[in-house]
Structure 1
Amino acid sequence: MSSASIAVRERRPRAVRVFPILSVTAWVTTVLLVLVGSIVRVTGNGLGCPDWPLCYGQAIPPGFASAWVEFSHRLFATAASIQIFGLAAIAWREYRRERWVLRPALAVAGLLMAQIGLGGLHVILENPPETGLVHTGLAMLIVGILALQLARSAQPTRRLAESAQPSLVDTRLPALITVTAAASYLLLLTGSLVTRSGASLACLDFPFCGAAEQATQRLVELHMLHRLVAATVAGLTIGVVAWMLRLRTDPGLHRIAIVLSVLLVIQVGLGIANVLLRLPMGTRVLHLTLGATFWSALVVLWSVTRKSAGSKLESAAG
């Protein structure tokens, strides 16, 4: 065997071992990108760099605080893009015959390209709410698919998927998790719609509306729609958690149930605080970031409750 063929054989397992790590770091970086993007929005620095892809016609922005706040979002986007395209490249080279790896990796890369173009258009059009809503929707799809990729490649979640299968035979828990995850994504979209339509303070009380005097009926309806979807997600999540806690054969599912419960309680608290405290910046940023994390947790749980795949990753991990 030639030295070149030996080098190829050694290089490929290394790329396969990198894939689960890169899946984790890509998801973490993308959630941080959501956090930074939220900071840019709530601080009013969405046009800190008024042009795109440059900033004031420069590769490095001038010394304005607003420009650097917005430019930091572009830096995180660059870091996330490198990792996401890296995942796609490894999947194309090493997992071309394994669709459960290849399709999510290529899908998230395609969504990222659309998101980059939309982000530039959003700046050029001076941040209209319509492109902002689509921008948020695409961002959360990217976060969700990365969470799916993480769940299917990271060793702890693959082991949990295998151990959980006997507990899930002849149950409808996976279907309930699917509905809950879909409702969670809808909740993110309605939250973005409320924010970008100016309906965040259309209702000033909780749990009842207590409509603001200047709020139109449409804004009140949008605000209450978000609350209704939030209540639906909370109810579905409580159902999922209760069901998992009854499955006494798998402690891993119990741990996920506890994590989901904690995330739900904090997220509901942040949503209420946004209304009663009149939208403080900190809770607004955390509300969106935790929403992305909660959505990711449900996607991971959805993957765990499905049949675990990953023959190539398992052999590499072993």
Structure 2
Amino acid sequence: MGYRLPFVTTIATFLLLIAGALVVGFDAGLACSDWPLCNGHIIPPMEGKIIIEYTHRMLSTGVGFLMLANLYLAWRKRKESPIVLKLVVLSFVMLLFVAVLGGINVLKKLPPGFTAMDTSFAILLFSTFVVLTGVTLANVRKKQNEFREDRQVRSMFKPALIVAIAIYADYVLGAFIKHSDAGQVWVNGKTSLLNNIISTPAIATTLMYIHVLATLLIVFSSLWLFFYARLRKVLKGQAIAMLILLALQPVTGFVTIVTGLAVVTNVIHMAIAALMMALAAFIATEAKLGANLLHTNDKKSSAVSSKEQSIVNLG
């Protein structure tokens, strides 16, 4: 199985995350009052918030078909790479779970906590396809004799995994704060938005401070990853990209707070967090496989490597 279809599916899933953030930002989650239909229609009148919610649903359907295509190809090539099939099956199960949570959100009129759960599984689904793209890309590199294992790359697995876990935990917490209106309570003092989960302003304030602490954990772990990459002289480009995203994240977060949680800056803030999660997952995948998948060895290097291996075998 090639890497192009998983890569396209990864991009589509990222766009689905953006669409979901727009649905929340414009409060369009109940624009379609039923599910799986939209206000009793397969194709409802395209007006107002219905456009945002219906676009999100169509993207979800498109991602579903892409995942079915991945499942079909992974099943056909299951003997070549069983891990690919396992990852595709896992992603498909998560997609079904996200769809069910989305249906519950609509039918139960956005119960507190369920939208955050939906978002949390969606980012896991996105990350799974990032890993799948890395694994299938590695398989293609191996077939083309462009895959070279490196112990230094393997040593990056632990710091990369810690960064990924920290980003995911912060993402989930941020989603919970956003979808429970804790951010609005803390920033704008809108106590009218209190609910049975965020019952007092003190709880909202506590969650925001925990969110800040989690962000600091991401900062320290990302710096550790960067200096570790420089020390080992591997994956330096990916580590630098992580620092760039890390620098942009607090800026967008600050602008979001200053502008009263404006929709555009909030969506950008979420998108950067998702990209950081994807990059951390990809680096962890590279480290687990032991190769820099963004660097291809030329034919000359491959020939030299094969010659050296032959000499070792003869010896």
- Partner Cα separation in structure 1 for residue 180 and residue 137 of structure 2: 39
- Partner Cα separation in structure 2 for residue 245 and residue 164 of structure 1: 18
- Partner Cα separation in structure 2 for residue 93 and residue 213 of structure 1: 55
Confirm or deny that 1:39 pairs with 2:17.
no
TM-score (norm 1): 0.82
Gaps of 5+ in 2: 192-199, 292-315
- Partner Cα separation in structure 2 for residue 120 and residue 197 of structure 1: 18
Q: What's the CA shift for 1:164?
A: 6.3
Cα separation, partners in 2 of 1:178 and 1:266, compared to 1, 3 Å: same
State the percentage of identical aligned residues. Answer: 21
- Partner Cα separation in structure 1 for residue 87 and residue 139 of structure 2: 19
Confirm or deny that 1:257 pairs with 2:230.
no
Cα separation, partners in 2 of 1:212 and 1:256, compared to 1, 3 Å: same
CA shift digits 1:154-208 (9 cap, x unpaired): 259958x955623246x4x32121111111110111001111222214545xxxx
Counting only pairs closer than 5 Å after superposition, residues 73-152 of structure 1 correspond to structure 2 as: 73-96=56-79, 98-152=81-135
Aligned to 2:13: 30
Runs of 4+ in 1 over 3 A off after TM superposition: 155-159, 161-164, 201-204, 211-215
Gaps of 5+ in 1: 1-15, 205-210, 310-318
Confirm or deny that 1:63 pairs with 2:20.
no
1:259 match: secondary structure: helix
Match of 2:218 among 233, 249, 269: 233
Q: What's the CA shift for 1:99?
A: 2.6
Aligned to 2:295: none
Counting only pairs closer than 5 Å after superposition, residues 270-281 of structure 1 correspond to structure 2 as: 270-281=252-263
Partner amino acid, structure 1, of 2:131: L
CA shift digits 1:6-46 (9 cap, x unpaired): xxxxxxxxxx3xx3111100000000000011111101111
Counting only pairs closer than 5 Å after superposition, residues 259-298 of structure 1 correspond to structure 2 as: 259-298=241-280
Match of 1:223 among 201, 208, 216: 208
- Partner Cα separation in structure 1 for residue 12 and residue 255 of structure 2: 27
Partner amino acid, structure 2, of 1:194: I
- Partner Cα separation in structure 1 for residue 138 and residue 284 of structure 2: 16
Aligned pair count?
282
Counting only pairs closer than 5 Å after superposition, residues 1-16 of structure 1 correspond to structure 2 as: 16=1
Q: What's the CA shift for 1:278?
A: 1.6
Is residue 131–residue 281 contact of structure 2 (8 Å, CA) maintained in 1?
yes
1:305 match: secondary structure: helix
- Partner Cα separation in structure 1 for residue 184 and residue 255 of structure 2: 12
Aligned to 1:5: none
TM-score (norm 2): 0.83
1:306 match: secondary structure: helix
Confirm or deny that 1:50 pairs with 2:3.
no
- Partner Cα separation in structure 1 for residue 226 and residue 90 of structure 2: 30
Partner amino acid, structure 2, of 1:287: H
Partner amino acid, structure 2, of 1:291: A
Cα separation, partners in 2 of 1:32 and 1:186, compared to 1, 3 Å: same
Range moving further from structure 2, 263-272 or 95-104:
95-104
Partner amino acid, structure 2, of 1:277: T
Cα separation, partners in 2 of 1:156 and 1:43, compared to 1, 3 Å: farther
- Partner Cα separation in structure 1 for residue 96 and residue 63 of structure 2: 12
Range moving further from structure 2, 230-239 or 26-35:
230-239
Q: What's the CA shift for 1:95?
A: 1.8
2:33 match: secondary structure: coil
CA shift digits 1:207-234 (9 cap, x unpaired): xxxx959561111001111111111111
- Partner Cα separation in structure 1 for residue 186 and residue 274 of structure 2: 24
Is residue 45–residue 70 contact of structure 1 (8 Å, CA) maintained in 2?
yes
Cα separation, partners in 2 of 1:162 and 1:68, compared to 1, 3 Å: same
Range moving further from structure 2, 87-96 or 233-242:
87-96
2:37 match: secondary structure: coil
Partner amino acid, structure 2, of 1:297: L
Q: CA RMSD in A?
A: 2.5
